[in-house]
Chain A
């Protein structure tokens, strides 16, 4: 079935390095994408989103890139900090849709 999935289940980086978390989606009709961060014992926390009419969007220390040709989404975190350690999920929704379809999640570990 249609799904949003992540390439890697785990990612380990050194503090201060840049992190890149990838996500593939299968539905070319998807028009809105969002990244969430989930810390242990907490709910998903909104990080950044992007609509399909954009290729790139920047926030504070985070950038989301969207490549519609290959149906790929990535989250870049600059100068990764220990507080960035969490599971990161991408999610998508479709035109006029409201439900989010989530990927599997990537566990990011930041080593001091």
Chain B
């Protein structure tokens, strides 16, 4: 058990809809990272937050946004969903802004019908 909690485990929705994925980092970790894992792109970094502030951004679509709350949990919002957004979305956490290793949750599997 990594200590990183993600909910929900599975999400099924339709094109055009909006969903919110939630992540609670390990106790004591201030950094949260979001990654997308798809069959054709592998594991890709989306965005990082540290202590409530955006720290780094990867190839995250404009339709996607994230935030980190004062209690350090984070949410990834995906809107105007397309079939190609079907993937596993992982959250990871680490102690500091650039500290390693990152510890991963078990992900949310998003299926767009």
A residues apposed to B, CB below 8 Å: 32, 34, 36, 41-46, 49, 89, 91, 93, 96-105
Contacts and interface: CB of A to CB of B under 8 A. Distances in A.
Contact of A43 (B31, B99, B107): B107
Interface stretch (B42-50, B61-69, B73-81): B42-50
Contact residues of B: prevailing secondary structure: strand
Contacts of B6: 43
Interface centre among A34, A41, A46, A99 (most CB of B within 10 A): A99
Contacts of B2: 43, 45-46
Given A44-B92, A44-B104, 13 more contacts: A42-B106, A42-B107, A43-B2, A43-B4, A43-B6, A43-B106, A45-B104, A46-B2, A46-B104, A49-B100, A98-B33, A98-B98, A99-B33
Contacts of B45: 99-101
Interface string B24-38: 000000010101000
